[in-house]
Structure formats: C-alpha cells, structure tokens
Amino acid sequence: MLNKIAMEHYGVHEKIDWTSLGRINLLLGSNGSGKTFLLKAIYAALKTLELYRRGNDNRTLGEVLSDKLYWTFQTERLGDLVQKNAEGVLSFLISEDDRNFSYEFGRDTIKKINKLHSDFLSPREETSIFVPAKEVLSLFQIILKSREQDRMFGFYDTYLDLVKALQIPTQRGRNYASFAKGKESLQGLLGGKVEYDKNSNKWYFKRGNTVFAIGTTSEGIKKLAIFNTLLSNHYLSSNSIIFVDEIESALHPSAISSFLDIIHELSKIGIQFFIATHSYFVIKKLALLAKQENESIPVLSLSTGAEPRYDNMRFGMPDNSIIDESVRLYEAEVDFSLGGTMNG
C-alpha cells in the first residue's frame, strides 16, 4: 500500500506532500485543479515499477520511466511537465511499505531521466489500473489500433493499459470472498452481464436471453462492467492499486452509493483506491462509511492558486468548494421559501 506521495513543480502542482494514506483516498477540486494529472503521475510511477526487469525487458529503470511518462502524458518533451515559471526542478516520490521510488528532472529534459532512485529491486508484483472518466468498451479496437499499430497520440497509456487488462480471459477457480461478493453486487447493479466475444472482437451486454451491442448500453453499465471484468479475470489481486477518475460519471446517485459499498468491501482485503470526484454524493457517502467504520479516508483538496488542503473523513466532512456550493444552494432555497429573492 502506498504510504506517501510527494511532488514539487509537477504540472500545475507547486508542492504536494500527502502522507498517512489509507485504503481509500479521495481527491477533490474544481476543473483544472490537477486531480487527473496527479492520478496519472502516481499511476505512471507504479506501472514503471511493475514493468522494470519483467521478463526479457532489458531497458534501464530510467528508460522504462521515460517511456511511461511519454505515453501517459503524451508530451513531446518531458521538460514540458515541469511547472511553468518554476525556479526548481520537477521532483516526485512515492513510498510503499518503507520502499521509496523517486526521480527529478528539469525543464530542458527531452526524454532521458538521469536522476532517480528506487528501493524496488525486482518487478512490483501487485497490479495497478487506471479507470478514466470516459468509457473504453465501445472504443476497444480503436484504442488498440491507434496505439499498437499506428503508434499515435490520442489515447493515453491509461486507456491502453486498461484495454489490455480487460482482454485477459475470465478465469475459473477460487477467488477472494470479497471479490465474489463484489462481482455478485456488480452484476446486480448491471442487471445482466457484459462479455467479450473473441470471434467478433466486440463487447456485448446480455440481459436474460437478449443480447445488446455495447454501443447501445448506458455509460454507467460500461463503467460497472469494467470492474466486474477485472474481478472475473483475476487481473486484480489483494494488493492492487486502482485509480478512478470522476467515479460518479454516468451513475445514478443510488448506483454511486452501492458502487462505493463494493469499493469499501474490496478495500478491506487490501486493494487501495485513489478516487477523484466532483460529486457531493460521493463525498457524503464516504464520510458516512468513515464514521460508521471508524475508518481513515484521507482527503486531498486541490484549488487553483491555493495551497493543497489535507483532511480525513474520519473526523467529518472536509471544507471544500463542492460542499460549499451545496450549502449555498440550500441556503438560497431556504431564503427563497421565506420570501427572499433566489439568486442561485
């Protein structure tokens, strides 16, 4: 499990020092505050550690990292990732169970990263995965062709890695009890099954005896199907790390609540989650779970031009612009009902 994330002059982030991480970690912030950027930076580092020295891959650690950053952020020069007008270099560090991985580079860096350190002497065995806000099932073949055949920018490595993970066939055999419970709950939310047909290279949604093309199903069904597939094909293990961007996207509030219950159950067996959201429902649900379970759910609130704020759901709802706006609208409604003017 990741214990600490630190960075300086990385993209829009001047400085982040997020410690005492939990099994579920929440990122809040307005559009453009760097939530997705931060998730991608962490993900790229973890995937680098998973790929380094794996099989017959004889690339150096710096080469693996450079390639991963290049395709995850799709910038021609890595130096473009350095914060604009920053006086220092970009630096990054993650800690996992007393092992550190860190690197730094300056604005003049094109692709080669010379300064890095790793306490990971062998490939990181646990898998990580990034689930973007945009669904991938109906774009499956387009993503594969764009990246693996054409080698073109457009779909980040977060998309390609997810597509490859979803290609793994469903496996039989014993699995963690929480995985089995999670799959059962997900299939209940789905109201059917989503399956991949190798012959046609397409995904289909099955409800009873009726089969639907994946393009005709809702975005919410596709999102839930991704998690159901990753649990079914054993890509995820008890120590996997999952990044979910805009978890609320295309989901009804009741489905959000049920989905977060599933995530909470999976976190109990060791899976670590980093979740970015704009949703008051997500914040409120996680605050209730933290209170009911007396559980640590760290929160990082990002705001353009302001210092990052660190909170923990164990101690209640954090001060945040999402919550502030919900309160403002409620107060405007109360004022209007009492005869005032509603200026929402």
Token representation of residue 118? 């790793």
- Greater confidence (290 vs 339) lies with 290
> Cβ neighbours of residue 32 under 8 Å, at least 6 residues apart?
12, 304
State the residue range of the domain holding 159: 133-235
Examine the domain organization and report whether 226 and 289 are in the same domain.
no
- Of 10-19, 131-140, 164-173, the least confident: 164-173
49: left (phi over 0), alpha (psi -120 to 50) or beta: alpha
Whether residue 4 sits in one domain with residue 119: yes
Q: Do β-strands 241-245 and 128-131 pair in parallel, antiparallel, or remain unpaired?
A: parallel
Least confidently predicted of 97-106, 121-130, 237-246, 335-344: 335-344
Q: Are strands 128-131 and 193-197 parallel, antiparallel or unpaired?
A: unpaired
| Confidence check: pLDDT of 14 > 60 | yes
Domain shared by 218 and 269, yes or no = no
What number of CA atoms fall less than 13 Å from residue 72's CA on the CB side? Answer: 27
Number of domains in the chain: 2
Higher pLDDT, 70 or 192: 70
pTM (two decimals): 0.91
pLDDT at 112: 94
| Low-confidence winner among 121-125, 128-132, 301-305, 320-324 (lowest mean pLDDT) | 320-324
Whether residue 81 is found in the same domain as residue 205: no
243 and 121 in one domain?
yes
Answer yes or no: is pLDDT of 327 > 70. Answer: no
- Same domain flag for 118 and 2: yes
In this prediction, residue 25 carries a pLDDT of: 98
